[in-house]
């Protein structure tokens, strides 16, 4: 992209859209020191904040679009600057000015027209359910299983969704789906700068949930969890939303899921940014893994709140990044160095990014990527 022309009103517009903490930055550089981009190339969030505060003067190239919203900088900022909100708001201004990377145009357009970023038709949103006989959510259903767009349209992640449904069935959980009536939670649209589109998606889902009297929601995406619990206003306070890692951990504690088949694998767990750093969920997915007999859990040096981002957040799923700059490739190498045969995670974006990294590295015969529910499903009964 070309340099952005400075606009005297730009900073005020960014503050108005949602970058309220911009003005408390003291330029200490902590954000730059913890940003994962500096593992692969030089990038300064500190400078980005400075340029934004100066009305965008000085921003060049991809600087504004590099952020993958991993939250490392936000957790460690001594002044509590929400750099993600500043970047999201600045991107929203750029979208309004029709200055957006071409890689984001398709996902943003499909979010507006079909309620998903994957170029899928709304009529195909529930195709992943074929043969599962999932009941439609009704007044007699306790849980709504809200399907992440990536699980609805991506073949690899569809398999994860189907195995999660199998586990819920085995545990006797009362759940249903609203199928093609659902729309994307809007997280990626918001982080890419689609401010208006995100508002439309939030309104559509809120109205759908209210019409169907939804009180309890199961999500398999940390991005959906974060949206529904932190960014949906009053809805966030009135509805109980659980990520599947938390629910599965509870079902194990209650004895409603009993893993019995031994899984003789050395497994390392990759903490997704939006489950860990954004929502402080670290123990439950590990509890799921350690409940599986025979499984050996190995920790990578970068784990929990210091986990290395897969690179998929903030629109990263759709950006073309040079191979040596892909976080997921570095993560696979870290897992291999730790001695793992399997890298387990609990996020559709992480599954997609890590799977792609394994293919790029041509090491599919050495290591695999699984969602925690796939390993648990394998341990609880016949693979049907």
Q: Specify which residues 216 forms β-bridges with.
A: 240
Q: pLDDT-derived band of residue 55, with 50, 70 and 90 as boundaries? A: confident
Whole-angstrom distance between the N-terminal and C-terminal Cα of the chain? 49
Q: What is the mean pLDDT of residues 163-189?
A: 97
Query: Which has the minimum average pLDDT: 54-58, 118-122, 287-291, 298-302?
Result: 54-58
Quote the crossing angle between the two packed helices 283-290 and 244-253, to the nearest 10°: 50
Query: pLDDT at residue 291 above 50?
Result: yes
Question: What sign for the dihedral angle of Cα 30, 35, 38, 44?
Answer: negative
Which class is 258-380 in CATH?
A: alpha beta
Position 18 scores a pLDDT of 58
Which class is 10-96 in CATH?
A: mainly alpha
Contact 324, 40 (CB under 8 A): yes
Position 144 scores a pLDDT of 98
Query: pLDDT at residue 175 above 50?
Result: yes
Position 2 scores a pLDDT of 42
- Intervals of CATH 3.40.50.1860 along the chain: 102-250
The per-residue DSSP string of 147-158 comes to: PPHHHHH-HHHH
Distance (Å, rounded) from C-alpha 254 to C-alpha 249?
9
> Could you tell me the pTM of the whole model?
0.95
Where would I find the H helices in 61-212? 72-76, 83-96, 102-114, 149-153, 155-170, 187-192, 195-211
- Intervals of CATH 3.40.50.10700 along the chain: 258-380
Residue 130, Ramachandran bin (φ over 0: left; ψ between -120 and 50: alpha; else beta): beta
- Intervals of CATH 1.10.1060.10 along the chain: 10-96
Distance (Å, rounded) from C-alpha 98 to C-alpha 202?
23
How many C-beta atoms lie closer than 10 Å to residue 242's C-beta?
19
What digits encode the pLDDT tens for the residues 116-169? Answer: 999 999 999 999 999 999 999 999 999 999 999 999 999 999 999 999 999 999
Query: pLDDT at residue 252 above 70?
Result: yes
Position 9 scores a pLDDT of 59
Buried b (16+ CB within 10 A) or exposed e, 85-120: bbbbbbbbbbbeeeebbeebeebbebbeebbbbbeb
DSSP at 324: G
Q: Specify which residues 344 forms β-bridges with.
A: 269, 370
Position 138 scores a pLDDT of 96
Average pLDDT of the chain to the nearest whole number: 93
| Topology classification of domain 102-250 | Rossmann fold (3.40.50)
Residue 59, Ramachandran bin (φ over 0: left; ψ between -120 and 50: alpha; else beta): beta
């Amino acid at each position: 992209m070309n340099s952005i022309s400075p606009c005297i009103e730009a900073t005020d517009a960014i503050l108005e859209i949602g970058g309220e903490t911009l003005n408390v930055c003291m330029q200490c550089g902590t954000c730059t020191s913890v940003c994962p981009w500096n593992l692969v190339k030089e990038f300064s969030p500190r400078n980005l904040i400075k340029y934004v505060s100066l009305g965008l003067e000085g921003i060049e190239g991809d600087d504004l679009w590099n952020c993958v919203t991993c939250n490392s900088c936000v957790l460690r900022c001594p002044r509590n600057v929400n750099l993600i909100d500043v970047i999201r708001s600045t991107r929203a201004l750029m979208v309004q000015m029709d200055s957006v990377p071409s890689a984001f145009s398709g996902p943003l357009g499909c979010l507006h027209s079909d309620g998903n970023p994957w170029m899928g038709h709304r009529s195909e949103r529930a195709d992943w359910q074929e043969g599962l006989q999932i009941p439609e959510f009704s007044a007699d259903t306790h849980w709504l299983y809200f399907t992440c767009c990536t699980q609805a349209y991506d073949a690899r992640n569809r398999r994860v969704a189907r195995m999660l449904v199998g586990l819920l069935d085995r545990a006797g959980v009362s759940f249903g789906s609203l199928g093609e009536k659902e729309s994307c939670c809007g997280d990626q649209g918001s982080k890419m700068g689609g401010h208006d589109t995100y508002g439309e998606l939030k309104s559509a889902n809120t109205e759908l949930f209210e019409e169907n009297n939804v009180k309890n929601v199961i999500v398999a995406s940390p991005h959906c969890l974060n949206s529904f619990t932190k960014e949906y206003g009053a809805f966030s306070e009135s509805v109980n939303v659980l990520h599947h890692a938390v629910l599965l951990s509870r079902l194990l504690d209650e004895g409603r899921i009993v893993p019995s088949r031994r899984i003789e694998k050395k497994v390392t767990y990759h903490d997704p940014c939006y489950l860990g750093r954004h929502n402080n969920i670290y123990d439950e997915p590990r509890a799921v893994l350690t409940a599986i007999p025979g499984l050996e859990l190995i920790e990578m040096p970068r784990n929990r709140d210091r986990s290395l981002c897969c690179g998929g957040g903030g629109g990263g799923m759709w950006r073309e990044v040079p191979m040596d700059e892909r976080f997921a490739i570095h993560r696979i190498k870290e897992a291999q160095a730790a001695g793992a045969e399997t890298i387990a995670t609990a996020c559709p974006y992480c599954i997609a990014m890590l799977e792609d990294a394994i293919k790029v590295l041509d090491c599919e015969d050495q290591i695999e990527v699984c969602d925690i529910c796939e390993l648990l499903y394998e341990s609880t009964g016949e693979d049907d």
